């Protein structure tokens, strides 16, 4: 071992080592250790656990006196009796020590006092440093705790926002305090009514699983507070009146239609009255033209909508701050009578608003018009461009194309053409008939000589005109092109002949009236409100048809309500915020199946044909059968090839 004092050459492994030199380990007290390290005069960080200081640097007074040893003259070999506060002071680097401390007690005492003062100063400095370090450590710990709490708060805030998107305030209180009865709001009850109407058994199961929803008895109490009576639903209309809307959001359309009821007498226990046996319910729906909202505004039993009732509804809506700009209905007998009462026809498609003297434009329900066109085409046929066209041409087409398993007229069949009763009311069958696909199939068969003796060219032109395949934006954004298409359709149905009649049929008048009203309504709204487009799918009765479907669905398998059931289902539907599976675009879903292209060859088919040719060269006669197919089968394969290439 070697002495830790800088410049000291005491080393027990050296050849010049003197046996009377003793080495002392560093003490345990922190302040004494610091004093020893200072005495070493070293700049490096040495390990005090393995460091020693020899006895050359300690005075006699630094050792503990053992009187017993002194009296006996005994000096133990390994005696290391240093005092606890002993500090090396002799033979230190940079100092001139007095070797004769035993002869001068006064100097030794002064040195001892000086050493003690130094020790106290060092201890004081160390204490202050320890306190400062402890304070800094406490501050760091507090900062870490604060940071951790802030991160936890941020996480809880994110979780709170996520939960608030699902649960309301009352529901959250119910979760946190399950034993406290919450104060349910109209929003809570409305959501619960929607869930309950979707499935009462499922709703009760949710309650058993302790999900925060109002009890079934609570829903019954809320429903009992709302009185639904025939006429204007003024109390219900307050729901939509309380919403914050701008001027454009309040532009609205009135649509009305009838819903068939089960005709039977019923007894209303709540009002203690007997309801007569009614055949249908007349419902008037208010719908936003430039914003997504709807609200039933009127209903009545076995009630035809007259001019006086319509004006009463319009005046009430106008007083509530909304602006009625149009009415939509189908072309039933009662609605045509209303048109006559309003003096509305294909030439004058508007009447005056009784409140603000502005024009209100009249529209026929377009999906209903499509069904009427199809039914008249099948039943009577049309005279188009001076030629008779009808279902016989389409039947001839299906006979020619359905001889094999692969057909280009897969969209239609003879059963679809000759459908009866409820199937005649399906819009999808009508749109499949008047499609670009059938038009192309007629052209293909006619050019191949398979439609000789029929007016296939005129029929194909009519179908192509009925299904314009141009991708258009909302009405008003491509005004010139859109008006051209509308004018062409108007002119077609103005001059088309049906069953040798000299006057226009109701559906012809409805098409002309609707096309004219659309153009006039756009110009009027542009003048009054500065609008730039109209979403035409909001100018039909889809909203009512889907609403009726939702009311029927509330009864499950019992989907044909009587008058009393209709009233209660209507109330539940309204309080449920009118949640339905309403189509936002059209009464007919878009058919994504690619249509047959006649004018140009598919790039996809060229690829397909090239693959076939390669297989023919490799295999030979097995694939040559492809070129022996008939034209219609080949066209069917071409259509399939184009479909596959498009999907890939």
pLDDT band at 594 (very low <50, low <70, confident <90, very high): very low
pLDDT band at 110 (very low <50, low <70, confident <90, very high): confident
Whole-angstrom Cα distance, residue 118 to residue 104? Answer: 21
pLDDT band at 300 (very low <50, low <70, confident <90, very high): very high
Short-list 442, 430, 438, CA closest to 374: 430
Report the percentage of the chain scoring pLDDT > 70: 84
Please provide the size of the chain in residues. 648
Whole-angstrom Cα distance, residue 52 to residue 23? Answer: 6
Short-list 340, 162, 281, 318, CA closest to 570: 281
- Residue 207, classified by CB atoms within 10 Å of its CB into exposed (0-12), middle (13-18) or buried (19+), is middle
368: phi then psi, degrees, rounded to nearest 5: -65, -35
pLDDT score for 340:
93
Q: Pick the residue with more confidence: 403 or 384?
A: 384
Whole-angstrom Cα distance, residue 447 to residue 432? Answer: 22
Whole-angstrom Cα distance, residue 207 to residue 32? Answer: 74
Task: Decide if pLDDT at 557 tops 70.
Answer: yes
pLDDT band at 603 (very low <50, low <70, confident <90, very high): very low
**Structure token pair of residue 250:** 């309040």
Task: Decide if pLDDT at 584 tops 60.
Answer: no
Task: Decide if pLDDT at 435 tops 90.
Answer: no
pLDDT score for 259:
93
**Structure token pair of residue 395:** 């039947």
Q: For residues 68-75, give the mean pLDDT.
A: 71
Q: For residues 244-252, give the mean pLDDT.
A: 88
350: phi then psi, degrees, rounded to nearest 5: -145, 165
Q: DSSP label at 299?
A: E
Whole-angstrom Cα distance, residue 540 to residue 589? Answer: 15
Q: Pick the residue with more confidence: 182 or 310?
A: 310
* Torsion sign across C-alpha atoms 122, 128, 133, 134: positive
pLDDT score for 23:
87
557: phi then psi, degrees, rounded to nearest 5: -70, -20
Whole-angstrom Cα distance, residue 412 to residue 416? Answer: 6
* Torsion sign across C-alpha atoms 387, 460, 446, 396: negative
pTM: 0.63
pLDDT score for 312:
95
Determine which of 269-273, 327-331, 634-638 has the lowest per-residue pLDDT on average: 634-638
Q: DSSP label at 343?
A: T
Task: Decide if pLDDT at 205 tops 50.
Answer: yes
- Residues 423, 426, 430: CA angle, nearest 5 degrees: 110
Name the 3-class secondary structure at 474.
coil
Q: If DSSP states are collapsed to H, E and C, what string results for 124-187?
A: HHHHHHHHHHHHHHHHHHHHHHHHHHHHHHHHHHHHHHHHHCCCCHHHHHHHHCCCCCCCCCHH
Strands (DSSP E) contained in 178-270 are 231-232, 251-260, 266-268
pLDDT band at 192 (very low <50, low <70, confident <90, very high): confident
Q: Pick the residue with more confidence: 126 or 398?
A: 398
pLDDT band at 643 (very low <50, low <70, confident <90, very high): low
Residue 461 C-beta-side C-alpha neighbours within 13 Å: 15
pLDDT tens sequence across 527-536: 999 999 999 9
pLDDT tens sequence across 612-639: 455 545 544 444 444 455 666 666 667 6
pLDDT score for 632:
63
Task: Decide if pLDDT at 131 tops 70.
Answer: yes
pLDDT band at 409 (very low <50, low <70, confident <90, very high): confident
Q: For residues 7-32, give the mean pLDDT.
A: 83
pLDDT band at 601 (very low <50, low <70, confident <90, very high): very low
Whole-angstrom Cα distance, residue 499 to residue 167? Answer: 62
Instruction: For the chain, give percent helix, strand, coil, nearest 5.
Output: 50, 10, 40
pLDDT score for 96:
43
350, β-bridge pairs: 361
pLDDT score for 533:
92
Q: For residues 22-41, give the mean pLDDT.
A: 89
CB of 518 within 8 A of CB of 490?
A: no
- Across 497-512, b (16+ Cβ under 10 Å) vs e yields ebeeeeebbbbbbbbb
Determine which of 87-91, 144-148, 439-443, 469-473 has the lowest per-residue pLDDT on average: 469-473
pLDDT score for 624:
45
Distances (CA, A) of 243 to 165, 246, 376, 387, 579: 20, 10, 45, 56, 17
Task: For residue 583, give every residue at least 6 positions away whose Cβ sits within 8 Å of its Cβ, in sequence order, or none.
Answer: 542, 546, 589
pLDDT tens sequence across 445-471: 888 888 888 889 999 999 888 887 666
Whole-angstrom Cα distance, residue 119 to residue 97? Answer: 19
Q: DSSP label at 112?
A: H
pLDDT score for 389:
92
CB of 159 within 8 A of CB of 125?
A: no
Short-list 499, 517, 238, 477, CA closest to 363: 517
For the chain, give the mean pLDDT. 81
Q: For residues 3-32, give the mean pLDDT.
A: 84
Max mean pLDDT among 16-25, 187-196, 274-283 falls in: 274-283
**Structure token pair of residue 124:** 């004081």
Q: DSSP label at 2?
A: B
């Amino acid at each position: 071992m070697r002495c830790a004092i800088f410049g000291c050459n005491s080393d027990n492994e050296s050849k010049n080592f003197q046996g009377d030199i003793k080495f002392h380990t560093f003490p345990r007290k922190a302040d004494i250790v610091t004093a020893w390290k200072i005495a070493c005069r070293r700049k490096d960080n040495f390990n005090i656990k393995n460091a020693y200081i020899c006895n050359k640097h300690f005075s006699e007074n630094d050792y503990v006196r053992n009187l017993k040893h002194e009296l006996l003259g005994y000096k133990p070999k390994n005696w290391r009796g240093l005092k606890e506060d002993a500090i090396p002071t002799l033979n230190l680097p940079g100092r001139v020590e007095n070797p004769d401390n035993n002869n001068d007690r006064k100097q030794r005492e002064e040195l001892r006092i000086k050493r003690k003062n130094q020790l106290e100063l060092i201890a004081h400095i160390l204490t202050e440093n320890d306190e400062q370090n402890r304070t800094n450590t406490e501050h760091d710990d507090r900062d870490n705790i604060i940071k951790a709490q802030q991160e936890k708060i941020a996480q809880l805030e994110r979780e709170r926002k996520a939960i608030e998107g699902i649960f309301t305030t009352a529901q959250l209180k119910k979760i946190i305090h399950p034993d406290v009865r919450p104060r349910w709001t109209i929003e809570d009850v409305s959501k619960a009514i929607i869930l309950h109407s979707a499935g009462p058994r499922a709703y009760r199961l949710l309650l058993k699983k302790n999900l925060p929803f109002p009890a079934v008895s609570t829903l019954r109490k809320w429903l009992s507070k709302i009185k639904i009576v025939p006429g204007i639903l003024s109390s219900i209309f307050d729901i939509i009146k309380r919403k914050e809307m701008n001027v454009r959001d309040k532009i609205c359309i009135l649509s009305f239609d009838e819903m068939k009821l089960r005709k039977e007498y019923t007894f209303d226990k709540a009002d203690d009255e007997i309801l007569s046996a009614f055949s249908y319910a007349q419902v008037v729906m208010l719908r936003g033209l430039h914003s997504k909202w709807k609200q039933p505004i009127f209903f009545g039993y076995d009630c035809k909508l007259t001019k006086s009732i319509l004006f009463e509804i319009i005046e009430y809506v106008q007083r509530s701050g909304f602006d009625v700009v149009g009415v939509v209905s189908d072309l039933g007998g009662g609605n045509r009578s209303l048109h006559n009462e309003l003096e509305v026809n294909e030439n004058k498609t508007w009447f005056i608003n009784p409140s603000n003297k502005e024009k209100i434009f009249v529209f026929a329900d377009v999906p209903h018009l499509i069904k009427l066109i199809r039914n008249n085409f099948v039943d009577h046929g049309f005279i188009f461009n001076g030629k008779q066209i009808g279902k016989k041409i389409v039947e001839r087409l299906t006979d020619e194309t359905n001889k094999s398993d692969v057909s280009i007229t897969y969209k239609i069949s003879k059963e679809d053409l000759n459908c009866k009763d409820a199937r005649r009311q399906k819009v999808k069958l009508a749109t499949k008939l008047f499609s670009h696909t059938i038009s192309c199939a007629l052209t293909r068969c006619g050019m191949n000589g398979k439609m000789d003796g029929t007016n296939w060219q005129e029929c194909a032109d009519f179908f192509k005109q009925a299904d314009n395949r141009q991708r258009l934006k909302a009405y008003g954004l491509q005004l010139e092109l859109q008006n051209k298409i509308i004018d062409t359709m108007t002119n077609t149905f103005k001059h088309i002949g049906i069953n040798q009649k000299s006057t226009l049929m109701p559906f012809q008048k409805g098409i002309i009236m609707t096309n004219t009203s659309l153009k006039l309504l756009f110009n009027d709204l542009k003048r009054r409100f500065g609008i730039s487009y109209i979403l035409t799918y909001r100018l039909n009765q889809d909203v009512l048809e889907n609403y009726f479907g939702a009311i029927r669905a509330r009864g499950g398998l019992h989907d044909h309500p009587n008058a009393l059931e209709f009233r209660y289902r209507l109330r539940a539907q309204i309080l449920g915020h009118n949640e339905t599976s309403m189509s936002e675009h059209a009464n007919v879903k878009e058919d994504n199946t690619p249509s047959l292209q006649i004018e140009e060859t598919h790039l996809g088919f060229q690829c397909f044909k090239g693959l076939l040719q390669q297989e023919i060269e490799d295999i030979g006669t097995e694939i040559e059968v492809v070129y022996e197919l008939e034209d219609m089968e080949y066209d069917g394969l071409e259509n399939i090839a184009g479909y596959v290439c498009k999907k890939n």
